[in-house]
Amino acid sequence: MKKNKKIIYGYKKNNYANYFKYFYILTTLFLSLVLTFIYYMYMPIDIPKKAKIPSGSISHVVSELDKQGFSVSFLDRYILYFMGEPKAGVIDFGDAKSINRIDFLNHIVNLSPSHVSNQLTLIPGETLEIFFEEIAAQTGLNKTLLFQEYKKLSPYPEAGIYADTYFIIDSMNEAQLIKFLIVQSEAKYTKLAKKYQGSYDVKEWQRILTIASIIQKEAANSQEMPIIASVIYNRLAKNMRLQMDGTLNYGKYSHIKVTPERIRNDASSFNTYKNYGLPDSPIGAVSQEAIDAAINPAKTDYLYFVKNSSGTHTFSNDFQTHRKAIESGN
Protein backbone atom coordinates (compact mmCIF):
# COMPACT_ATOMS: atom_id res chain seq x y z
CA MET A 1 0.00 0.00 0.00
CA LYS A 2 2.77 2.44 0.85
CA LYS A 3 4.41 1.74 -2.49
CA ASN A 4 1.19 2.52 -4.32
CA LYS A 5 0.77 5.77 -2.40
CA LYS A 6 4.23 6.84 -3.46
CA ILE A 7 3.36 6.12 -7.08
CA ILE A 8 0.11 8.07 -6.82
CA TYR A 9 1.88 10.91 -5.07
CA GLY A 10 4.56 10.94 -7.79
CA TYR A 11 1.87 10.94 -10.46
CA LYS A 12 0.13 13.95 -8.87
CA LYS A 13 3.44 15.73 -8.50
CA ASN A 14 4.18 15.25 -12.21
CA ASN A 15 0.70 16.57 -13.05
CA TYR A 16 1.27 19.70 -11.01
CA ALA A 17 4.59 20.23 -12.77
CA ASN A 18 2.92 19.86 -16.16
CA TYR A 19 0.12 22.23 -15.20
CA PHE A 20 2.66 24.82 -14.09
CA LYS A 21 4.63 24.33 -17.27
CA TYR A 22 1.55 24.89 -19.47
CA PHE A 23 0.46 27.86 -17.36
CA TYR A 24 3.91 29.41 -17.70
CA ILE A 25 3.92 28.92 -21.48
CA LEU A 26 0.42 30.36 -21.91
CA THR A 27 1.15 33.29 -19.59
CA THR A 28 4.39 34.06 -21.42
CA LEU A 29 2.63 33.85 -24.78
CA PHE A 30 -0.19 36.11 -23.57
CA LEU A 31 2.22 38.69 -22.17
CA SER A 32 4.24 38.59 -25.40
CA LEU A 33 1.09 39.27 -27.42
CA VAL A 34 0.08 42.11 -25.09
CA LEU A 35 3.54 43.71 -25.28
CA THR A 36 3.60 43.31 -29.07
CA PHE A 37 0.17 44.93 -29.32
CA ILE A 38 1.25 47.83 -27.08
CA TYR A 39 4.41 48.30 -29.13
CA TYR A 40 2.33 48.26 -32.33
CA MET A 41 -0.13 50.84 -30.99
CA TYR A 42 2.58 53.25 -29.86
CA MET A 43 4.88 52.73 -32.83
CA PRO A 44 5.34 56.07 -34.71
CA ILE A 45 4.12 56.21 -38.30
CA ASP A 46 4.93 58.78 -40.97
CA ILE A 47 1.96 60.90 -42.00
CA PRO A 48 1.22 63.32 -44.85
CA LYS A 49 -0.13 66.69 -43.75
CA LYS A 50 -3.75 65.73 -44.39
CA ALA A 51 -5.78 62.53 -44.60
CA LYS A 52 -8.91 62.04 -46.69
CA ILE A 53 -11.40 59.89 -44.80
CA PRO A 54 -14.01 58.57 -47.26
CA SER A 55 -17.51 57.53 -46.32
CA GLY A 56 -18.21 53.81 -46.22
CA SER A 57 -17.15 50.75 -44.29
CA ILE A 58 -14.11 50.58 -42.01
CA SER A 59 -12.44 48.25 -44.52
CA HIS A 60 -12.95 50.84 -47.24
CA VAL A 61 -11.55 53.61 -45.02
CA VAL A 62 -8.41 51.58 -44.23
CA SER A 63 -7.97 50.70 -47.90
CA GLU A 64 -8.18 54.36 -48.95
CA LEU A 65 -5.75 55.43 -46.21
CA ASP A 66 -3.29 52.85 -47.51
CA LYS A 67 -3.59 54.36 -51.01
CA GLN A 68 -2.82 57.79 -49.56
CA GLY A 69 0.45 56.54 -48.11
CA PHE A 70 -0.49 55.88 -44.48
CA SER A 71 1.08 52.80 -42.87
CA VAL A 72 -2.14 50.98 -42.01
CA SER A 73 -2.68 47.23 -41.87
CA PHE A 74 -5.45 44.69 -41.49
CA LEU A 75 -5.03 44.95 -37.70
CA ASP A 76 -6.19 48.56 -37.80
CA ARG A 77 -9.51 47.42 -39.23
CA TYR A 78 -10.21 45.30 -36.15
CA ILE A 79 -8.96 48.00 -33.79
CA LEU A 80 -11.30 50.54 -35.37
CA TYR A 81 -14.25 48.17 -34.93
CA PHE A 82 -13.75 48.54 -31.16
CA MET A 83 -12.82 52.23 -31.16
CA GLY A 84 -15.72 53.45 -33.28
CA GLU A 85 -16.64 54.38 -36.84
CA PRO A 86 -14.45 56.96 -38.65
CA LYS A 87 -16.05 60.22 -39.82
CA ALA A 88 -15.85 61.16 -43.49
CA GLY A 89 -13.89 64.24 -44.50
CA VAL A 90 -10.34 65.57 -44.25
CA ILE A 91 -8.14 65.57 -41.14
CA ASP A 92 -5.37 68.16 -40.98
CA PHE A 93 -2.35 66.90 -39.00
CA GLY A 94 -0.61 70.26 -39.25
CA ASP A 95 3.19 70.20 -39.39
CA ALA A 96 3.51 66.82 -37.65
CA LYS A 97 5.79 64.43 -39.54
CA SER A 98 4.84 61.35 -37.53
CA ILE A 99 2.38 60.23 -34.88
CA ASN A 100 1.93 57.06 -32.84
CA ARG A 101 -0.72 54.68 -34.09
CA ILE A 102 -3.13 55.01 -31.17
CA ASP A 103 -3.23 58.80 -31.55
CA PHE A 104 -3.61 58.45 -35.31
CA LEU A 105 -6.63 56.13 -34.92
CA ASN A 106 -8.07 58.41 -32.24
CA HIS A 107 -7.85 61.34 -34.66
CA ILE A 108 -9.78 59.34 -37.25
CA VAL A 109 -12.54 58.35 -34.83
CA ASN A 110 -12.91 61.34 -32.51
CA LEU A 111 -12.20 64.48 -34.52
CA SER A 112 -14.74 66.21 -36.73
CA PRO A 113 -12.95 66.63 -40.04
CA SER A 114 -14.16 69.13 -42.61
CA HIS A 115 -15.29 68.21 -46.10
CA VAL A 116 -12.68 69.99 -48.21
CA SER A 117 -11.48 67.20 -50.49
CA ASN A 118 -11.83 66.43 -54.20
CA GLN A 119 -12.48 63.21 -56.04
CA LEU A 120 -10.79 62.64 -59.40
CA THR A 121 -11.75 59.86 -61.79
CA LEU A 122 -9.60 58.89 -64.76
CA ILE A 123 -11.81 56.92 -67.16
CA PRO A 124 -10.21 53.94 -68.95
CA GLY A 125 -9.20 54.99 -72.45
CA GLU A 126 -9.03 58.70 -71.63
CA THR A 127 -5.95 60.75 -72.52
CA LEU A 128 -3.92 62.99 -70.24
CA GLU A 129 -4.88 65.98 -72.40
CA ILE A 130 -8.53 65.59 -71.43
CA PHE A 131 -7.85 64.40 -67.86
CA PHE A 132 -5.65 67.40 -67.02
CA GLU A 133 -8.25 69.75 -68.52
CA GLU A 134 -10.83 68.24 -66.17
CA ILE A 135 -8.49 68.54 -63.17
CA ALA A 136 -7.78 72.19 -64.00
CA ALA A 137 -11.50 72.96 -64.25
CA GLN A 138 -12.29 71.12 -61.01
CA THR A 139 -9.41 72.28 -58.82
CA GLY A 140 -8.13 75.48 -60.39
CA LEU A 141 -4.68 73.98 -60.92
CA ASN A 142 -2.67 74.89 -64.01
CA LYS A 143 -2.89 72.37 -66.86
CA THR A 144 0.53 73.30 -68.27
CA LEU A 145 2.18 72.81 -64.88
CA LEU A 146 0.41 69.47 -64.46
CA PHE A 147 1.95 68.29 -67.74
CA GLN A 148 5.38 69.61 -66.75
CA GLU A 149 5.31 67.74 -63.44
CA TYR A 150 4.01 64.60 -65.15
CA LYS A 151 6.86 64.60 -67.66
CA LYS A 152 9.37 64.93 -64.81
CA LEU A 153 8.07 61.91 -62.91
CA SER A 154 6.44 59.44 -65.28
CA PRO A 155 8.47 57.11 -67.52
CA TYR A 156 5.50 56.93 -69.94
CA PRO A 157 4.38 59.70 -72.36
CA GLU A 158 0.80 58.49 -71.77
CA ALA A 159 -0.88 55.95 -69.42
CA GLY A 160 1.50 56.76 -66.57
CA ILE A 161 -1.59 57.32 -64.42
CA TYR A 162 -3.68 54.20 -63.91
CA ALA A 163 -7.39 54.51 -64.70
CA ASP A 164 -9.06 54.73 -61.28
CA THR A 165 -10.82 57.05 -58.81
CA TYR A 166 -8.55 59.06 -56.52
CA PHE A 167 -9.34 61.10 -53.39
CA ILE A 168 -7.12 64.15 -53.15
CA ILE A 169 -6.54 66.97 -50.68
CA ASP A 170 -7.69 70.35 -51.99
CA SER A 171 -4.48 72.04 -50.80
CA MET A 172 -2.29 70.00 -53.15
CA ASN A 173 -0.35 71.94 -55.75
CA GLU A 174 0.49 70.60 -59.22
CA ALA A 175 3.70 68.85 -58.13
CA GLN A 176 2.11 67.21 -55.09
CA LEU A 177 -0.93 66.00 -57.03
CA ILE A 178 1.06 64.47 -59.88
CA LYS A 179 3.47 62.81 -57.45
CA PHE A 180 0.52 61.33 -55.55
CA LEU A 181 -1.12 60.00 -58.74
CA ILE A 182 2.08 58.55 -60.17
CA VAL A 183 3.18 56.91 -56.90
CA GLN A 184 -0.19 55.15 -56.71
CA SER A 185 -0.02 54.12 -60.37
CA GLU A 186 3.57 52.88 -60.23
CA ALA A 187 2.69 50.75 -57.20
CA LYS A 188 -0.18 49.22 -59.18
CA TYR A 189 1.96 48.59 -62.26
CA THR A 190 4.79 47.11 -60.18
CA LYS A 191 2.40 44.70 -58.50
CA LEU A 192 0.84 43.61 -61.82
CA ALA A 193 4.20 43.28 -63.59
CA LYS A 194 5.62 41.12 -60.81
CA LYS A 195 2.47 38.99 -60.84
CA TYR A 196 2.58 38.32 -64.59
CA GLN A 197 6.25 38.69 -65.51
CA GLY A 198 8.20 38.31 -62.30
CA SER A 199 9.70 41.80 -62.45
CA TYR A 200 8.84 45.36 -63.45
CA ASP A 201 10.76 46.47 -66.52
CA VAL A 202 9.70 49.91 -67.78
CA LYS A 203 10.58 49.26 -71.44
CA GLU A 204 8.65 45.99 -71.56
CA TRP A 205 5.78 47.46 -69.54
CA GLN A 206 5.45 50.37 -71.99
CA ARG A 207 4.87 47.81 -74.74
CA ILE A 208 2.20 46.13 -72.59
CA LEU A 209 0.58 49.50 -71.84
CA THR A 210 0.62 50.42 -75.54
CA ILE A 211 -1.16 47.20 -76.51
CA ALA A 212 -3.55 47.54 -73.56
CA SER A 213 -4.39 51.12 -74.57
CA ILE A 214 -5.32 50.00 -78.10
CA ILE A 215 -7.48 47.23 -76.63
CA GLN A 216 -9.10 49.80 -74.31
CA LYS A 217 -10.00 52.03 -77.26
CA GLU A 218 -11.24 49.27 -79.56
CA ALA A 219 -13.11 46.78 -77.35
CA ALA A 220 -16.86 47.21 -76.86
CA ASN A 221 -16.70 45.49 -73.46
CA SER A 222 -14.32 43.58 -71.21
CA GLN A 223 -15.38 40.23 -72.70
CA GLU A 224 -14.08 41.33 -76.11
CA MET A 225 -10.72 42.51 -74.81
CA PRO A 226 -8.82 39.17 -75.05
CA ILE A 227 -10.20 38.69 -78.60
CA ILE A 228 -9.16 42.20 -79.68
CA ALA A 229 -5.75 41.41 -78.18
CA SER A 230 -5.52 38.26 -80.30
CA VAL A 231 -6.21 40.28 -83.47
CA ILE A 232 -3.41 42.71 -82.57
CA TYR A 233 -0.90 39.93 -81.95
CA ASN A 234 -2.01 37.98 -85.04
CA ARG A 235 -1.58 41.00 -87.31
CA LEU A 236 1.80 41.87 -85.79
CA ALA A 237 2.95 38.27 -86.32
CA LYS A 238 1.99 38.49 -90.00
CA ASN A 239 3.63 41.93 -90.39
CA MET A 240 0.25 43.47 -91.22
CA ARG A 241 -0.55 47.07 -90.36
CA LEU A 242 -2.98 47.22 -87.44
CA GLN A 243 -5.25 49.73 -89.26
CA MET A 244 -7.27 50.55 -86.13
CA ASP A 245 -9.17 53.83 -85.67
CA GLY A 246 -8.62 53.80 -81.91
CA THR A 247 -4.90 54.48 -82.30
CA LEU A 248 -5.76 57.88 -83.83
CA ASN A 249 -7.78 58.89 -80.75
CA TYR A 250 -4.65 60.10 -78.95
CA GLY A 251 -4.09 63.36 -77.05
CA LYS A 252 -6.56 66.10 -77.97
CA TYR A 253 -8.20 63.77 -80.51
CA SER A 254 -9.50 61.48 -77.76
CA HIS A 255 -13.17 61.98 -78.68
CA ILE A 256 -12.78 63.05 -82.32
CA LYS A 257 -14.22 60.73 -84.98
CA VAL A 258 -11.53 59.36 -87.28
CA THR A 259 -12.12 60.47 -90.86
CA PRO A 260 -10.40 59.51 -94.14
CA GLU A 261 -8.82 62.97 -94.08
CA ARG A 262 -7.27 62.31 -90.64
CA ILE A 263 -5.92 59.00 -91.88
CA ARG A 264 -4.34 60.68 -94.93
CA ASN A 265 -2.83 63.62 -93.05
CA ASP A 266 -1.79 62.28 -89.65
CA ALA A 267 1.97 61.72 -89.73
CA SER A 268 2.38 60.47 -86.14
CA SER A 269 3.31 56.93 -85.11
CA PHE A 270 -0.29 56.57 -83.90
CA ASN A 271 -1.50 56.30 -87.50
CA THR A 272 -1.56 52.51 -87.80
CA TYR A 273 -3.09 52.79 -91.28
CA LYS A 274 0.24 54.14 -92.54
CA ASN A 275 2.74 52.60 -90.12
CA TYR A 276 3.64 49.00 -89.34
CA GLY A 277 3.93 47.75 -85.79
CA LEU A 278 2.78 49.43 -82.60
CA PRO A 279 2.67 53.19 -81.92
CA ASP A 280 5.69 54.56 -80.09
CA SER A 281 3.77 54.88 -76.80
CA PRO A 282 0.36 54.21 -75.21
CA ILE A 283 -2.72 56.08 -76.45
CA GLY A 284 -4.60 56.59 -73.19
CA ALA A 285 -5.22 55.33 -69.67
CA VAL A 286 -5.78 51.61 -69.19
CA SER A 287 -7.75 49.38 -66.86
CA GLN A 288 -6.61 46.13 -65.29
CA GLU A 289 -8.92 44.22 -67.68
CA ALA A 290 -7.09 45.70 -70.68
CA ILE A 291 -3.70 44.85 -69.14
CA ASP A 292 -4.89 41.30 -68.44
CA ALA A 293 -5.96 40.96 -72.08
CA ALA A 294 -2.67 42.36 -73.39
CA ILE A 295 -0.74 39.78 -71.38
CA ASN A 296 -3.19 36.89 -71.87
CA PRO A 297 -4.77 37.25 -75.34
CA ALA A 298 -7.32 34.75 -76.57
CA LYS A 299 -6.07 32.07 -78.95
CA THR A 300 -7.77 32.79 -82.29
CA ASP A 301 -7.01 33.09 -85.99
CA TYR A 302 -8.89 36.38 -86.28
CA LEU A 303 -7.32 39.16 -88.33
CA TYR A 304 -10.29 41.53 -88.74
CA PHE A 305 -13.22 42.93 -86.79
CA VAL A 306 -16.00 45.42 -87.45
CA LYS A 307 -18.69 46.95 -85.24
CA ASN A 308 -22.08 45.32 -85.74
CA SER A 309 -25.67 46.43 -85.16
CA SER A 310 -25.61 45.21 -81.54
CA GLY A 311 -22.73 47.56 -80.67
CA THR A 312 -20.18 44.76 -80.29
CA HIS A 313 -17.81 43.42 -82.97
CA THR A 314 -17.93 40.69 -85.58
CA PHE A 315 -14.58 38.94 -85.96
CA SER A 316 -13.24 37.29 -89.13
CA ASN A 317 -10.28 35.15 -90.19
CA ASP A 318 -10.03 36.48 -93.76
CA PHE A 319 -10.77 39.67 -95.66
CA GLN A 320 -13.59 38.18 -97.77
CA THR A 321 -15.57 37.21 -94.68
CA HIS A 322 -14.74 40.58 -93.12
CA ARG A 323 -16.08 42.38 -96.22
CA LYS A 324 -19.35 40.46 -95.97
CA ALA A 325 -19.63 41.42 -92.30
CA ILE A 326 -19.16 45.09 -93.21
CA GLU A 327 -21.83 44.90 -95.91
CA SER A 328 -24.36 43.07 -93.75
CA GLY A 329 -23.75 45.15 -90.65
CA ASN A 330 -24.11 42.02 -88.47
Q: Where are the alpha helices (DSSP H) in the chain?
A: 2-42, 58-67, 74-83, 101-110, 128-139, 143-153, 174-197, 202-218, 225-237, 260-265, 288-295, 319-328
**What does the pLDDT look like over 189-217, one tens digit per residue?**
999 999 998 999 999 999 999 999 999 99
Domain that holds residue 88: 44-110
For 314, the 3-state DSSP assignment is: strand
Residue 219 domain-assigned?
Answer: yes
| pLDDT averaged over every residue in the chain | 85
Average pLDDT over residues 137-165: 94
Q: Which of 129-143, 162-176, 240-254 has the lowest mean pLDDT?
A: 162-176
Residue 309 domain-assigned?
Answer: yes
Average pLDDT over residues 41-50: 70
**What does the pLDDT look like over 244-276, one tens digit per residue?**
999 999 999 999 999 999 999 999 999 999 999
Residue 236 domain-assigned?
Answer: yes
Question: Per the structure, how many domains does the chain have?
Answer: 3
- Looking at the fold, whether 310 and 241 belong to one and the same domain comes out as yes
Contact 213, 219 (CB under 8 A): no
- Looking at the fold, whether 36 and 51 belong to one and the same domain comes out as no
Residue 37 domain-assigned?
Answer: yes
Domain boundary among 78, 95, 110: 110
The pTM is what?
0.66
- Looking at the fold, whether 17 and 86 belong to one and the same domain comes out as no
- Strand pairing category for 165-169 and 117-121: antiparallel
Residue 51 domain-assigned?
Answer: yes
**What does the pLDDT look like over 86-97, one tens digit per residue?**
766 677 666 666
- Looking at the fold, whether 26 and 48 belong to one and the same domain comes out as no
- Looking at the fold, whether 216 and 286 belong to one and the same domain comes out as yes
Residue 147 domain-assigned?
Answer: no
Residue 58 domain-assigned?
Answer: yes
Q: Which of 1-15, 52-66, 67-81, 286-300 has the lowest mean pLDDT?
A: 1-15
Distance CA 238, CA 240 (A): 5
Is the confidence at residue 44, as pLDDT, over 50? yes
